[in-house]
Amino acid sequence: MPVAHVRRFSVLALTGALLLTACGADDSPPPPSAEPGENGYPLTLDNCGRTVEVTAPPERAVSLNQGTTEILLSLGLADRLAGTATWTDPLPRALEEANASVPRLADNAPSFERVLDAEPDFVAASFASTLGTGGVAERERFEELGVPTYLSPSDCVGKDNSGEGDGTRTEAFTMETVYGEVLDLARVFGVEERGDELVASLRARAERATSGIDASGATLLYWFANSESPYMAGCCGAPGVITDALGAENVFDDSRQEWPQINWETVADRDPDVLVIGDLTRRSQTSESAAEKIAFLESHPVTRTMTAVREQRYVLLSGQAMNPSIRTVEGLELVAAALRDHGFAE
């Protein structure tokens, strides 16, 4: 199916409410993944083992996952988004107004045809499964139509997605990968200064959240979704960033799977001090919301005797904060505050 590329040139206003300002960040942001050509375009990126060429700043981008959508909205690019899809959480309040004008193609994964109907000139996704077999479409299908694609490096750098499930980390994820993604996308859209500001702000927030904290000795468990065969965080994804930054311990840090499915008897046996619970609004698994998860934990004969359940030591995080994204910094802030409140951190 041919794609009609419609160029809609407009003046993009910089919306201060969407851009997080830097506060005392001393670290220099990492370099983007590729150098631009003359006058900035064509721009060539080395992205997850593929060469991506962007001939001009996108005017009708489609974001297939909430993680990439939130980056683009935070960069002030709402008027260059022709569609979004695959949502797990409400947006941060600062992004709600800008997102209101962006078409939502689907709450979950859209069809390939639905994406093409949006006449995209650039497609971005957070997960390899979205742009792979069984997902919206493989990257080659978009590229055959002249539509460049971009995959979040956090789902390919140091990660093996060849098996079943959500992949296995061969190297621990770090926020530097997300910061590099922000700078890549800022370069693609020609808004490099905004990318620098957003990265600086995220760095400053992470530094403030961890300043002086020591949660050594505290054990955590991260439950994303599903009560029948629950997805718990392994050692080395976004929850690993949060746990390590606070000096705490993930009770399932012996698994390199991103989200291994673990039975409740094993969970109860590990008996973590604090439960970090995904509060999702999607409806694709059992026990998506935090309320559903807590009701399950407090009624199930195996889990209701766990120390964290009896003491109601819960931390509620969005799905975005538990996946590699700019919201992982939000997760770090919330878990740090909760550990202090529960007396597990100085």
| pLDDT tens column, 276-321 | 999 999 888 999 999 999 999 999 999 999 999 999 999 999 999 9
**Are residues 217 and 200 both part of a single domain?**
no
> Of the residues 162, 186, 207, which one is the last residue of a structural domain?
207
Q: Do 77 and 195 fall into the same domain?
A: yes
74, 160: one domain: yes
Rg (CA), the chain: 20
Confidence of residue 35 (pLDDT cuts 50, 70, 90): low
On whether both 50 and 132 belong to a single domain, the answer is: yes
192 and 60 share one domain: yes
329 and 218, same structural domain?
yes
Domain boundary among 172, 207, 242: 207
The verdict on 303 and 240 lying in the same domain is yes
Domain co-membership, 200 together with 217:
no
Q: Residue 282's closest CA among 106, 117, 111, 158?
A: 106
CATH number for the domain spanning 145: value is: 3.40.50.1980
Q: What is the mean pLDDT of residues 76-81?
A: 98
For 317, residues 6+ apart whose C-beta sits below 8 A from its C-beta are 276, 277, 278, 279, 330, 331, 334, 335
Give me the domain span that covers residue 275.
Answer: 212-341
Residue 145 lies in a domain: yes
Query: Domains in the chain: how many in total?
Result: 2
DSSP secondary structure string, 61-128? EEE-SHHHHHHHHHTT-GGGEEEEE---SPPPHHHHHHHTTS-EEESSPPPHHHHHHT--SEEEES-T
pLDDT tier at 13, thresholds 50, 70, 90: very low
Q: Are residues 317 and 184 in the same domain?
A: no
The sign of the CA dihedral 200, 125, 322, 278 is positive
Is residue 87 domain-resident? yes
Higher pLDDT, 23 or 57: 57
Same domain, 97 and 57: yes
Model pTM?
Answer: 0.88
DSSP 257: B
pLDDT score of 346: 79
264 within some domain: yes
Q: In this structure, are 238 and 291 located in the same domain?
A: yes
Q: What is the number of other CB atoms lying within 10 angstroms of the CB of residue 170?
A: 11
Q: Determine the 3-state secondary structure of 270 from DSSP.
A: helix
Same domain, 181 and 247: no
346: amino acid identity, one letter = E
